[in-house]
Amino acid sequence: NKLDDLFDAATKVKVITKLGTNLEFSVSGRKGRGRNGGIYQNRGAWGNLPCGEAFIAPLEGSANGVYFVDASHAGVGEIFQPIEITVKNGCAVDIRGGREATILSNMLAAVDDPNAFNIAEFGIGCNDKAKIIGITLEDEKVLGTCHVALGRNVLFGGKIDVGVHVDGVIKSPTIYFDNQKIVAEGELLI
Protein backbone atom coordinates (compact mmCIF):
# COMPACT_ATOMS: atom_id res chain seq x y z
CA ASN A 1 0.00 0.00 0.00
CA LYS A 2 2.84 2.41 0.76
CA LEU A 3 4.29 2.05 -2.74
CA ASP A 4 0.86 2.60 -4.28
CA ASP A 5 0.45 5.77 -2.21
CA LEU A 6 3.84 6.97 -3.46
CA PHE A 7 2.85 6.16 -7.06
CA ASP A 8 -0.36 8.18 -6.55
CA ALA A 9 1.59 11.24 -5.38
CA ALA A 10 4.39 11.03 -7.96
CA THR A 11 4.51 12.89 -11.25
CA LYS A 12 7.68 11.36 -12.73
CA VAL A 13 9.56 8.07 -12.41
CA LYS A 14 13.21 7.48 -13.32
CA VAL A 15 14.88 4.06 -13.46
CA ILE A 16 18.63 3.46 -13.78
CA THR A 17 20.83 0.35 -13.58
CA LYS A 18 24.51 -0.48 -13.84
CA LEU A 19 23.76 -2.23 -17.16
CA GLY A 20 22.81 1.14 -18.65
CA THR A 21 19.08 1.50 -18.03
CA ASN A 22 18.12 5.17 -18.00
CA LEU A 23 14.36 5.47 -18.47
CA GLU A 24 12.01 8.29 -17.46
CA PHE A 25 8.25 8.64 -17.77
CA SER A 26 5.29 10.54 -16.34
CA VAL A 27 2.73 9.00 -14.00
CA SER A 28 0.97 12.31 -13.30
CA GLY A 29 -2.69 11.72 -12.52
CA ARG A 30 -2.39 7.93 -12.62
CA LYS A 31 -3.07 5.65 -9.65
CA GLY A 32 -0.87 2.89 -8.29
CA ARG A 33 -2.28 -0.62 -8.41
CA GLY A 34 -1.58 -3.59 -6.19
CA ARG A 35 -3.33 -2.56 -2.99
CA ASN A 36 -5.29 -5.82 -2.70
CA GLY A 37 -2.17 -7.83 -1.86
CA GLY A 38 -3.34 -10.83 -3.86
CA ILE A 39 -6.67 -11.17 -2.06
CA TYR A 40 -9.58 -11.20 -4.50
CA GLN A 41 -12.83 -11.07 -2.53
CA ASN A 42 -15.19 -9.35 -4.94
CA ARG A 43 -16.91 -10.93 -7.90
CA GLY A 44 -15.05 -9.95 -11.08
CA ALA A 45 -11.83 -9.02 -9.28
CA TRP A 46 -8.71 -10.18 -11.12
CA GLY A 47 -4.98 -10.41 -10.70
CA ASN A 48 -2.20 -12.95 -10.60
CA LEU A 49 -0.31 -14.94 -8.05
CA PRO A 50 2.04 -14.95 -6.33
CA CYS A 51 1.16 -11.53 -5.01
CA GLY A 52 3.74 -8.87 -4.42
CA GLU A 53 3.90 -5.98 -6.84
CA ALA A 54 2.91 -2.34 -6.97
CA PHE A 55 2.38 -1.10 -10.50
CA ILE A 56 1.08 1.79 -12.58
CA ALA A 57 0.31 2.68 -16.18
CA PRO A 58 2.73 5.42 -17.32
CA LEU A 59 1.20 8.26 -19.32
CA GLU A 60 1.10 7.26 -22.94
CA GLY A 61 3.73 9.03 -25.02
CA SER A 62 5.78 10.13 -22.00
CA ALA A 63 8.49 7.45 -21.69
CA ASN A 64 11.95 8.10 -23.10
CA GLY A 65 15.32 6.44 -22.68
CA VAL A 66 16.62 2.90 -22.66
CA TYR A 67 16.15 -0.12 -20.43
CA PHE A 68 17.82 -3.50 -20.17
CA VAL A 69 15.79 -6.60 -19.31
CA ASP A 70 18.10 -9.04 -17.54
CA ALA A 71 15.93 -11.51 -15.58
CA SER A 72 13.03 -12.74 -17.73
CA HIS A 73 10.51 -11.52 -20.27
CA ALA A 74 6.98 -12.76 -20.82
CA GLY A 75 6.76 -14.67 -24.08
CA VAL A 76 10.54 -15.13 -24.10
CA GLY A 77 11.50 -16.76 -20.79
CA GLU A 78 14.76 -16.52 -18.89
CA ILE A 79 17.19 -13.92 -20.20
CA PHE A 80 20.75 -15.07 -20.88
CA GLN A 81 21.82 -12.01 -22.90
CA PRO A 82 20.18 -8.76 -21.73
CA ILE A 83 17.59 -7.24 -24.04
CA GLU A 84 18.24 -3.54 -24.72
CA ILE A 85 15.02 -1.64 -25.46
CA THR A 86 15.21 1.97 -26.65
CA VAL A 87 12.10 4.05 -25.97
CA LYS A 88 11.00 7.26 -27.64
CA ASN A 89 7.76 9.13 -26.94
CA GLY A 90 6.23 6.21 -25.09
CA CYS A 91 7.04 3.40 -27.50
CA ALA A 92 9.83 0.88 -27.92
CA VAL A 93 11.60 1.91 -31.14
CA ASP A 94 14.57 -0.46 -31.07
CA ILE A 95 15.08 -3.89 -29.50
CA ARG A 96 18.62 -5.32 -29.45
CA GLY A 97 20.43 -8.26 -27.96
CA GLY A 98 20.71 -11.93 -28.73
CA ARG A 99 18.18 -14.66 -29.38
CA GLU A 100 15.82 -13.33 -26.68
CA ALA A 101 15.66 -9.88 -28.32
CA THR A 102 14.83 -11.47 -31.68
CA ILE A 103 12.01 -13.51 -30.12
CA LEU A 104 10.56 -10.39 -28.46
CA SER A 105 10.82 -8.28 -31.63
CA ASN A 106 9.14 -10.95 -33.74
CA MET A 107 6.38 -11.50 -31.18
CA LEU A 108 5.52 -7.80 -31.03
CA ALA A 109 5.71 -7.38 -34.82
CA ALA A 110 3.32 -10.32 -35.26
CA VAL A 111 0.62 -8.38 -33.38
CA ASP A 112 0.60 -6.04 -36.41
CA ASP A 113 -0.35 -2.99 -34.35
CA PRO A 114 2.06 -0.20 -33.36
CA ASN A 115 0.40 -0.09 -29.92
CA ALA A 116 2.09 -3.41 -29.13
CA PHE A 117 5.25 -1.32 -28.55
CA ASN A 118 3.55 1.01 -26.03
CA ILE A 119 5.19 1.36 -22.61
CA ALA A 120 2.17 -0.03 -20.78
CA GLU A 121 3.18 -0.70 -17.20
CA PHE A 122 5.87 -0.09 -14.66
CA GLY A 123 5.98 -2.19 -11.50
CA ILE A 124 8.13 -2.84 -8.46
CA GLY A 125 8.46 -6.26 -6.83
CA CYS A 126 7.55 -6.42 -3.12
CA ASN A 127 7.55 -10.14 -2.28
CA ASP A 128 10.51 -11.14 -0.12
CA LYS A 129 9.71 -14.84 -0.65
CA ALA A 130 9.70 -14.74 -4.47
CA LYS A 131 12.88 -15.80 -6.30
CA ILE A 132 14.19 -15.22 -9.82
CA ILE A 133 13.33 -18.49 -11.57
CA GLY A 134 13.08 -17.42 -15.21
CA ILE A 135 9.28 -17.23 -15.16
CA THR A 136 8.10 -13.64 -15.41
CA LEU A 137 4.96 -14.10 -13.33
CA GLU A 138 7.11 -14.83 -10.26
CA ASP A 139 10.23 -12.88 -11.23
CA GLU A 140 8.33 -9.56 -11.40
CA LYS A 141 7.30 -9.99 -7.76
CA VAL A 142 10.85 -10.42 -6.39
CA LEU A 143 11.58 -7.77 -3.78
CA GLY A 144 13.62 -4.94 -5.28
CA THR A 145 13.18 -5.85 -8.94
CA CYS A 146 11.17 -3.77 -11.36
CA HIS A 147 9.42 -4.54 -14.60
CA VAL A 148 8.35 -2.68 -17.70
CA ALA A 149 5.54 -4.05 -19.84
CA LEU A 150 4.80 -3.43 -23.48
CA GLY A 151 1.33 -3.37 -25.04
CA ARG A 152 -2.09 -3.14 -23.38
CA ASN A 153 -2.74 -1.05 -20.28
CA VAL A 154 -6.45 -0.26 -20.51
CA LEU A 155 -7.29 -2.70 -17.70
CA PHE A 156 -5.41 -0.68 -15.06
CA GLY A 157 -5.84 2.99 -15.86
CA GLY A 158 -4.24 3.39 -19.28
CA LYS A 159 -5.73 4.07 -22.71
CA ILE A 160 -4.15 1.41 -24.94
CA ASP A 161 -6.15 -1.69 -25.84
CA VAL A 162 -4.10 -4.04 -27.99
CA GLY A 163 -3.86 -7.83 -28.13
CA VAL A 164 -0.63 -8.14 -26.14
CA HIS A 165 0.79 -7.33 -22.71
CA VAL A 166 4.29 -8.62 -21.93
CA ASP A 167 6.46 -7.77 -18.93
CA GLY A 168 10.25 -7.60 -18.85
CA VAL A 169 11.97 -7.93 -15.47
CA ILE A 170 14.98 -5.83 -14.46
CA LYS A 171 17.31 -6.82 -11.61
CA SER A 172 18.93 -4.38 -9.15
CA PRO A 173 17.36 -1.10 -10.33
CA THR A 174 17.65 2.31 -8.71
CA ILE A 175 14.27 4.03 -8.87
CA TYR A 176 13.26 7.62 -8.20
CA PHE A 177 9.72 8.97 -7.79
CA ASP A 178 10.20 12.63 -8.62
CA ASN A 179 13.40 13.34 -6.65
CA GLN A 180 12.87 10.72 -3.92
CA LYS A 181 14.95 7.55 -4.18
CA ILE A 182 12.61 4.61 -3.57
CA VAL A 183 14.89 1.70 -4.55
CA ALA A 184 18.71 1.68 -4.48
CA GLU A 185 20.32 -1.07 -6.59
CA GLY A 186 17.52 -3.48 -5.74
CA GLU A 187 17.06 -2.48 -2.10
CA LEU A 188 13.64 -1.06 -1.23
CA LEU A 189 14.18 2.07 0.87
CA ILE A 190 10.67 2.68 2.19
The three state secondary structure string of the chain is CHHHHHHHHCCEEEEECCCCCEEEEECCCCCCECCCCCCCCCCCCCCCCCCCEEEECCCCCCCEEEEEECCEECCCEECCCCEEEEEECCEEEEEECCHHHHHHHHHHHHCCCHHHHEEEEEEEECECCCCCCCCHHHHCCECCCEEEEEECCHHHCCCCCCCCEEEEEECCCEEEECCEEEEECCEECC
Per-residue pLDDT of the chain (190 residues; tens, 9 = 90+): 789 899 999 999 999 999 999 999 999 999 998 766 666 667 876 666 668 899 999 999 999 999 999 999 999 999 999 999 999 999 999 999 999 999 999 999 999 999 999 999 999 999 999 999 999 999 999 999 999 999 999 998 999 999 999 999 999 999 999 999 999 999 999 9
pLDDT of residue 50: 67
Q: What sign results for the dihedral spanned by CA atoms 60, 138, 131, 7? A: positive
Rounded to an integer, what distance in angstroms lies between the CA atom of residue 7 and that of residue 113? 29
Per-domain residue ranges for the chain? 2-34+53-188
pLDDT for position 47: 65
Task: Note the pLDDT of residue 44.
Answer: 75
**pLDDT for 45:** 67
pLDDT of residue 51: 80
On the question of a cis peptide bond just before residue 50, with omega within 30 degrees of 0, the verdict is yes
pLDDT for residue 40: 60
